[in-house]
Amino acid sequence: MPSMNLVLLISFLLFSIGVAGVLIRRNVLIILMCAELMLNAANLNLIAFARHSGTVAGQAFALMVMGLAAAEVAVGLAIVVALYRKKNSISVDEINLLKG
């Protein structure tokens, strides 16, 4: 079994990679994948702290976050498909549909 510090370090690295991907990349699909990576890092933290404390509350929250992530992916991909049909591009720089 890995130690708590190792699990928290891995979670921090996953979250950092996700934040960097959201801030640096301009492709909407990559941004969605990086947001999922950040949610998985939070899940890893929740499960690690649940295992450390001996309760199942963190695991229950992790299951709720997984459900939220699945809903986010469904809505996000629907938006990306609609944007691609309208603009023929999924680059964040070229999306200006909300401008007046």
| Host domain of residue 73 | 4-88
Helices H, strands E: what count in the chain? Answer: 3, 0
Calpha distance 63→50 (Å, rounded) = 12
pLDDT at 35: 93
The answer to the question of residue 43 being in a domain is yes
The pLDDT, as a whole number, for residue 49 is: 92
| Number of structural domains in the chain | 1
Q: What parts of the chain have a pLDDT lower than 70?
A: 97-100
- Which tens digit of pLDDT belongs to each residue from 15-37? 999 999 999 998 888 999 999 99
Q: Are 90 and 27 in contact (CB under 8 A)?
A: yes
Domain assignment of residue 94, yes or no:
no
Q: What is the CATH number of the domain that holds 34?
A: 1.10.287.3510
39-56 burial, b at 16+ Cβ within 10 Å, e below that, comes to bbbbbbbbbbbbeeeeee
CB 33 within 8 A of CB 21: yes
In a domain, 96, yes or no: no
